[in-house]
Every structure is written in C-alpha cells, then in structure tokens.
A = this chain, B = another copy of it.
C-alpha cells in the first residue's frame, strides 16, 4: 500500500511536470524569456560600446587639441633653424674691417629685421656671456681651459657661436669655451 501510494505520488509529479512544460510551451514563456535576455544583453552590449566610443571620442579630441597647440607653438622651428646660418653670416660680415657707414647701416638693418622676425615667432638668443655660468641645458662646451684664481670652474671663457631657443626648446645650443 505504501509502495502504491509512492508510485501514485510519482505519477502525479510526472504529470505535473508535463503540464507545466506544456503550459510553458504553449504560452511561449520560455523562449520569450530567452529573447528578453538576449535583448537585454544586446542593450547592455551597445550601451557599453556607446560609452566606450564617447570616451574614445573625447580622447581623440583632447589629443588632437594638444597636437594642434604643439604644432602651432613650434611651427617655425624648421625655418628658424635654417635661418640661423644667415644670421651668423651677417654677424661675420659686420665684423669685417673697413666697412663704409652705408654698408654697415644696411647690414645692421637686415640683422635687426631678422632678429625681430624671429622674436615675433618666439625665437630668442640664448644668454651666454664671458664670465657667466655654464649651463649644459643651453650651452655646448667645444673646448675647456684650466680654471684659476680669477676664473672659477664651470664659467664661460669665450662664446664661439650664439645659441637660439624657440620658447623653452633649444634650436641650437651656444658653443662656448669653459673653465674647468
């Protein structure tokens, strides 16, 4: 009798399962639930993709702005570098003995207008003077001479060629002789 009852219970359980399955199939609750999950996943997926795209877009814009500012700031670098030898030549021409006043005046005018044009674009001579401190960031030692009581080590003994910088960037270091 207990066994019969158990069997009967099992039959009822099986029947219940069948009914539940049938109802679920009929109402399509199961596939609908799965479709919902898929739709939710798709929504989450595109939300993530969208947020990443927005972040990436902001990065691109930021980098592009930085790059533009840098290009703008240093745009004259190459032309300025190429012009420096002309300035050197002008200075050498001005150092020649026996120039007439007219020629000297003309040369000085050219020199001034060049220096002025460079200054307008942020290019300036690097300070370097005899007796001043040697700074390896802005000066290049092309020769050394022994320091003595009157000349401290790491001071400039002679300026060979002027140096120039564009904003804080060195276009060409000043070539100097240093006491050491």
What is the CA–CA distance of A86 and B24 in the complex, to the nearest angstrom? 91
Number of copies: 2
Q: How far is the CA of A98 from the CA of B106 in the complex (A)?
A: 14
Q: In the complex, what distance in Å separates the CA atom of A96 from the CA atom of B107?
A: 12
The CA-CA distance from A155 to B43 in the complex, in Å, is 71
- Contacts A24-B27, A46-B50, A89-B110 given; 13 further ones with Cβ under 8 A? A29-B32, A35-B36, A36-B39, A53-B54, A57-B60, A60-B61, A64-B64, A67-B68, A71-B71, A76-B79, A83-B114, A93-B107, A103-B103
Say yes or no: is A143 at the interface (Cβ < 8 Å to chain B).
no
Question: Any chain B CB within 8 A of the CB of A80?
Answer: yes
Give the most central of A64, A83, A116: most B CB within 10 Å: A83
User: Interface SS of chain A: helix, strand, loop or mixed?
Assistant: helix
- Would A79 and B82 count as touching, CB distance under 8 A? no
Q: Given A32-B29, A57-B60, A76-B76, are A113 and B85 also a contact pair (CB < 8 Å)?
A: yes
Residues of chain B within 8 A (CB-CB) of A106 are 89, 92-93, 96
17 CB-based A-B contacts, threshold 8 Å: A23-B27, A39-B42, A39-B43, A42-B47, A46-B49, A49-B50, A53-B57, A64-B68, A71-B72, A75-B76, A75-B78, A76-B76, A82-B120, A86-B114, A89-B109, A96-B103, A103-B103
Cβ–Cβ contact A102 & B110, under 8 A: no
Determine the interface band of chain A, counting residues with CB < 8 A from chain B: 35 or more
Task: Point out residues on A near B: beta carbons under 8 Å.
Answer: 23-24, 27-29, 32-33, 35-36, 39-40, 42-43, 45-47, 49-50, 53-54, 56-57, 60-61, 64, 67-68, 71-72, 75-76, 78-80, 82-83, 85-86, 89-90, 92-93, 96, 98-100, 102-103, 106-107, 109-110, 113-114, 116-118, 120-121
